[in-house]
Structure 1
Amino acid sequence: MSTALRPPARPHPGVDHPSLVPALLLADSLSPGADDDGERRPVRRSVRDWLVDVAVFLVAVGLGLLLLFESSARPQPPSDGVLVADLVLGLIGCLLLWGRRRRPVAVAAVLALVGAFSATSGVAVLIALFTVAVHRTWRTVLVLGAVNLVAFVVYDQLRPDPDLPRLLTLALGAVLTAAVVAWGMFVRARRQLVVSLRDRAVRAENEQRLRVDQARQLERTRIAREMHDVLAHRLSLLSMHAGALEYRPGAAPAEIAQAAGVIRASARGALEDLREVIGVLRDTGDGTLTDRPQPTLADLTALVEQSRTAGLRVRMEYRVPDVAAVPPVTGRTVYRVVQEALTNVRKHAWGTVACVRVTAEPGSGIEVEVTNPAPLGTDPGTPLPGSLPGSGTGLVGLVERVGLAGGSLEHGWTDEGDFRLRARLPWPQAPVPE
């Protein structure tokens, strides 16, 4: 058995019946904090343990002396030598109770033998048997219970009570032994129940804390992914305009001022987004996460216009019958697919024409396709000299995002030499109202 069966410091609420509280409190006081595996371990007594052990010793000695006095007051009392031997053995048995916390089985076995000759040790025998019933398995308890019954029979043979019939005496001894064993095993079962309830509550609390931490981590990852897409988009705009200034040093002042304004606005937006990313990834410990408004399919036109304003040539074919009816998650996924595709065009195929086609139909789903040819003078798949470096995770993240939305994504070079990114997303047919 495990050490988890040590008695709790106080009764578990909701387990004890009011009528059993005094008895169970007494049981907890009588039983030591020994382990159930039978191994010898040092036991450090607390103040409460010392008080309990002193009380148990005094009760065992006091009631034992009463039993000895009753035996000497019979019409045919034992001899003085027998009474002295009974008193000495009884006191030794009561002293053995101080070792019941370390070796309850050994103490109970020795006291059972002593109890076969000494009336003074009678109460100490029952206390030791109760301790074993609380902290050992039922096999050990049954063996010691049988030993105690045999010892009681031997005592009745050696020192019978002339006032009581022999069968009645044996029956009383058997009932008393069974009652002590049953009481101890009931306390044992109660403690197991208390420990089980307490462990279950701790386990449930730990599982709840783990679920909260996992949900917080998933939410933090989701927000960070959204911010990555936004940052990549803004930084690509900033790099594109900076490159235009670098390769056109003789541009008109108005064009330079316009490009500088776009760079400044993009840099400010990137810094704000970066601040939000850092706030999201930093664990504040209060369980709160910063969120920001998420784009929808209705924002797709503004995204394309922003790219056109930045100088990217984009042709768009947009056929969506009812934008408001598109599920928010699906619309946000379509937006991120187009955003990542246009960002890649600015990074790796600047100067080409990007073709964006979005077609949607309830029941048939949504298809997004973005194509662009390879830059002039380069082979498909060859990086453009001076192009922005890519992390290689943008398309991987898109595949994961589209998969979570229940769709599929394909990307690669076509036979015509165009790079094509195609995503298919579900759009269930709305139920027709009756």
Structure 2
Amino acid sequence: MSLLLGVVAVLVGATAYGEYAAGTVGWVLVMELVLGAVGIGVLPWLFRRPVRTALALAALAAVAPTATPVATIGTLTVSRVCRLPVAIGVAAAGTAAHAVRGLWLPMAGLSYGWWLVLVVVAHAALVAIGALSQTRAALIDSLRERAERAEAEQGRRVAEARAAERAAIAREMHDVLAHRLSLVATYAGAIEYRPDLPPEKLATAAGVVRGGVHQALDELRDVITLLNEDTSAADSPLPALDDLPELVEESRAIGTPVDVRDTRPEAELPGPTGRTAYRVLQEALTNARKHAPGQAVTVTLDGTPGGRLLIEVCNPLPPAPAPAVVPGAGSGLVGLTERVRLAGGRLDHRATAREFRLSAWLPWPA
């Protein structure tokens, strides 16, 4: 504000000097100096009450040329902070004030007509500059708002991506560890409930438990490497449907008969589909081992490239509920259903009085 008042004071002084050089002396020059000083004193109110102050400055400009600089600033300020109709009204008042002054105090060397033209053009330019300033400020505010909204949207997307990644890792850890630990728990249970077994069988069971724990740790390490940005996915191959024989042998080794009926043609199954199919079968065999130990499990695979891969796993239910071998939250099938859905397929499971049946289909690209 101090800088603005200093600049305006210089302009008022320059205008007064020009009037003096043009021959204005005596009380007229004193009046112009006084009105110019009054305009400078009124100027601070321009930012509190812009319209009223600008009209007052325009009235001073109708009497004294030294009030023109402050009146010009008043019109420009109104044009920058007020609506366009208000700015045009203030500019019209300023134009009228200068037209009145041109009648009783004409400018030397300039006709009244050209004086009016210059006044109208100047005030129109002030209104245009103010409107342009408002438009620029509105554009900057809009861009700032859009940037803040985009930043908030980006933050939301990052949070959703992190939540999805955590859910995927949780499903992967469940699929890996539930299967492996159920095998370990089965052998550990045999050691606990049959301490009278021959030493060689106890040693074999203990060896299986130890090997299973090591495998569980290795598989857990493989899952955790997914969190390491410096580790390539190729360094740790993920299981696929081609690993089904090993999965079946593990179940058979602990007393779960598994019959596999694979009628698929000899065709390569894409990696994502093969991994999802493997996880479906792994979870199905783990559930059968936990809830129906010793019962025969039938696995059926069918499908053709360009169509879909069909997976069906069924097993009879025991007469009485089996004791929990491995405690669980019951979320395995929920996570598996979501995994299959994300792969573009569908999973269904149902239990009757005699059997439990799990069915899934996955798209099989040609």
Give TM class, smaller chain: 0.7 to 0.9
Query: Equivalent of 1:400, from 328, 338, 345?
Result: 338
8 Å contact from structure 2 (residues 95, 123) kept in 1: yes
1:240 Cα deviation from its structure 2 partner: 0.9
Mapping for residues 73-88 of structure 1, pairs under 5 Å: 73-74=21-22, 77=24, 80-88=26-34
CA distance in 2, matches of 1:56, 1:289: 63
Query: Equivalent of 1:345, from 283, 288, 311?
Result: 288
CA distance in 2, matches of 1:289, 1:134: 58
1:322 corresponds in structure 2 to 266
2:356 corresponds in structure 1 to 419
Any idea what the Cα deviations from partners look like across 1:359-386, whole Å, max 9, x if unmatched?
A: 22223421111111112x32xxxx3245
1:424 maps to amino acid? W
Matched, 1:68 2:68: no
2:293 maps to amino acid? W
CA distance in 1, matches of 2:251, 2:362: 24
1:73 Cα deviation from its structure 2 partner: 4.5
CA distance in 2, matches of 1:280, 1:293: 11
Any idea what the Cα deviations from partners look like across 1:169-220, whole Å, max 9, x if unmatched?
A: 1111111111222223223323333444444445445544543443343233
Tell me the secondary structure at the aligned position of residue 322 of structure 1.
coil
CA distance in 2, matches of 1:323, 1:238: 34
For structure 2, the 5+ residue unaligned runs are none
**TM, length-normalised to structure 1:** 0.75
8 Å contact from structure 2 (residues 305, 364) kept in 1: yes
1:122 Cα deviation from its structure 2 partner: 0.8
Matched, 1:294 2:242: no
Any idea what the Cα deviations from partners look like across 1:64-113, whole Å, max 9, x if unmatched?
A: 223233334546x47x3343232122112123333444443343233222
RMSD: 2.8
Mapping for residues 264-283 of structure 1, pairs under 5 Å: 264-271=210-217, 273=219
8 Å contact from structure 2 (residues 172, 223) kept in 1: no
1:45 corresponds in structure 2 to none
CA distance in 2, matches of 1:268, 1:96: 87
8 Å contact from structure 1 (residues 224, 277) kept in 2: no
1:50 corresponds in structure 2 to none
CA distance in 2, matches of 1:122, 1:386: 95
1:261 corresponds in structure 2 to 207
CA distance in 1, matches of 2:79, 2:230: 52
Tell me the secondary structure at the aligned position of residue 120 of structure 1.
helix
Matched, 1:358 2:301: yes
For structure 1, the 5+ residue unaligned runs are 1-52
CA distance in 1, matches of 2:192, 2:267: 41
1:399 Cα deviation from its structure 2 partner: 2.0
2:133 corresponds in structure 1 to 187
1:166 Cα deviation from its structure 2 partner: 1.8
Matched, 1:224 2:170: yes
Any idea what the Cα deviations from partners look like across 1:319-342, whole Å, max 9, x if unmatched?
A: 332352x22222112111111111
1:307 Cα deviation from its structure 2 partner: 1.9
Q: Quick check: 352-361 or 308-317, which moved more?
A: 308-317
Q: Quick check: 190-199 or 297-306, which moved more?
A: 190-199
1:237 maps to amino acid? L
1:332 maps to amino acid? R
Tell me the secondary structure at the aligned position of residue 351 of structure 1.
coil
Change (3 A) 1:58 1:386: closer
Q: Quick check: 392-401 or 94-103, which moved more?
A: 94-103
8 Å contact from structure 2 (residues 343, 362) kept in 1: yes
Paired residues, number = 364
Q: Which structure has the highest helix share of the two?
A: 2
Between the aligned residues of both structures, percent identity stands at 44
Tell me the secondary structure at the aligned position of residue 66 of structure 2.
coil
2:56 maps to amino acid? V
1:418 maps to amino acid? E
Query: Equivalent of 2:65, from 116, 119, 122?
Result: 119
